[in-house]
Amino acid sequence: MGWRVACRSHIAGSPFLDEQSSIALASITLALIGGAYIGFGAADGRARVFWAELAVALLFGLAAFLGLIWQWAFLPLGLALHALWDMSHHNSYRLARIPNWYIPFCVAFDLLAATFFVLLYAVF
């Protein structure tokens, strides 16, 4: 129990979150991360790109929702899939234009966060 509280305090900023509150915070985080590309799609200026980015963001929102109400495993799965979505933007002319520095940063964050959630909820 002590390890779980200590680990959750690093991600949530509070040692007082129970498991369900921690999952809720992780779900909100995944939904926000998934929605980041909506802004890039809007800034791109192509309607097709905007709608594609919005559709995929809704899928990440669905993964966050399922992680909240059904099974926490949707959260690291969603983050790992988001890392793949990040990589698909590298040198892509069909998707939103993303700053060069953003993609490797986001891939690393997504994969580290996914690993952290698996360790937090499955191991500790």
Q: What is the C-alpha to C-alpha distance for residues 103 and 84, in angstroms, rounded to an integer?
A: 10
Q: What separation in angstroms does the CA of 106 have from each of 68, 89, 117?
A: 22, 11, 16
29, containing H or E segment? helix 19-44
- Residue ranges covered by each domain of the chain: 23-123
The pLDDT tens digits of the residues spanning 44-66 come to: 999 999 999 999 999 999 999 99
- Is residue 11 over pLDDT 70? no
pLDDT at 92: 82
The pLDDT tens digits of the residues spanning 61-84 come to: 999 999 999 999 999 999 999 999
* Token pair belonging to 115: 């690993």
